[in-house]
Amino acid sequence: MSVTYNAPAAEKTQQNHVLLNQFYPPLTLDNPRRSPMRELISTVLSHRTTHADEELAYDRMLEAFGDWAGVLAAPTAELAHAIRTTRWPDTQAPRIQEILRRIQAERGAFELDFLADWPMEKGMAWLNDMPGIGLKTASLVLLFNFHKPVLPVDTHVHRIAQRVGMIGPKASADKAHQVLLEQLPKDALTLLNFHKHNYWHGQKICFFAKPDCARCPLKGFCNYYLEHYGPATPAALAATPARWDAAWGELAH
């Protein structure tokens, strides 16, 4: 079935998944990229911060204070200094310490493995109750680490969903979280691939400032493409690469 510019949003979302699944390498659920605690705290550090600066902040924090108990006990100003490569270290330092304090107080240890046994909604509510933990961060932890059927909507997923027309042009990220989840199968593998493929697509092709539409397999039904270039011609569709070429750069994990 060919999906066109005026197709319903749900059809565009499903076709996005099919085409990006062919374009980018498929992922499996085998190995979470990081431990649950690292996923949680790193995502707090990553707010409006590059991946390299987030990693640097994380490494400096653990080098300076040793472990989570050390991070919690550290003078807050020293923690802010250790994570100074992030966008708002003076806000994030007390936030991280409050998250650690609550985890220790409620669970007796700095670990989140209990979330594997909790229903998704309960885990989502528990994480969302932490300072600075929104839907995106909670979803990343629950999907990546515990394979719960949730969809993290970061800036890339949000932008592509708006441009293509999978959500309304003014829908918020939280609204996108709800709408896209309704449009996709509720299985963790599909949602992991959908999230990651759109994340890569936003990083590598559908740039914020100047999307590289010539290389994009979504141009045949993307509203942004239609508005800027008119309907994709057979020649433009035929010239679209079939898949990501490793020579174009590394895909971040």
Kindly list the residues in this chain that would bind ligand SF4 in the complex (CB under 6 A).
160, 163-164, 205-206, 211-213, 216, 218-219, 222, 224-225
Nearer to ligand SF4, 194 or 224 (CB): 224
Nearer CB in complex with ligand SF4: 56/160: 160
Rounded to a whole number of angstroms, the minimum distance from the CB of residue 219 to ligand SF4 is 4
Is 13 or 43 the residue whose CB approaches ligand SF4 more closely?
13
Helices (H) and strands (E) in the chain, counts: 14, 0
CB of 126 to ligand SF4, least distance (A): 35
DSSP string, 148-172: -S-----HHHHHHHHHHTSS-TT--
Nearer to ligand SF4, 105 or 242 (CB): 242
Shortest CB 228 distance to ligand SF4, Å: 8
Burial of 21 (0-12, 13-18, 19+ CB in 10 A): middle
Distance CA 237, CA 214 (A): 9
Q: Assess contact for 110 and 68: CB atoms under 8 A.
A: yes
Minimum distance of ligand SF4 from residue 50's CB (angstroms): 21
Alpha-carbon distance values, 178 to 24, 71, 78, 199, 202 (Å): 24, 34, 39, 18, 20
Minimum separation from the CB atom of position 216 to ligand SF4 (A) = 3
CB of 133 to ligand SF4, least distance (A): 29
* Cα–Cα distance measured from residue 41 to residue 46, given in angstroms and rounded to the nearest whole number: 9
Contacts of 187 (CB under 8 A, 6+ apart): 149
Q: At what angle do helices 155-164 and 188-204 cross, to 10 degrees?
A: 90
Rounded to whole angstroms, the Cα distance separating 95 from 36 reads 17
**Of 93 and 206, CB closest to ligand SF4:** 206
Give the residue with the Cβ less far from ligand SF4, 95 or 215. 215
Q: Is residue 178 a contact partner of residue 150, using CB atoms and an 8 Å limit?
A: no
Crossing angle (nearest 10°) for helices 36-45 and 51-65: 120
Looking at beta carbons only, is 129 or 212 nearer to ligand SF4? 212
Query: Considering the complex, what minimum distance in angstroms separates the CB of residue 217 from ligand SF4?
Result: 8
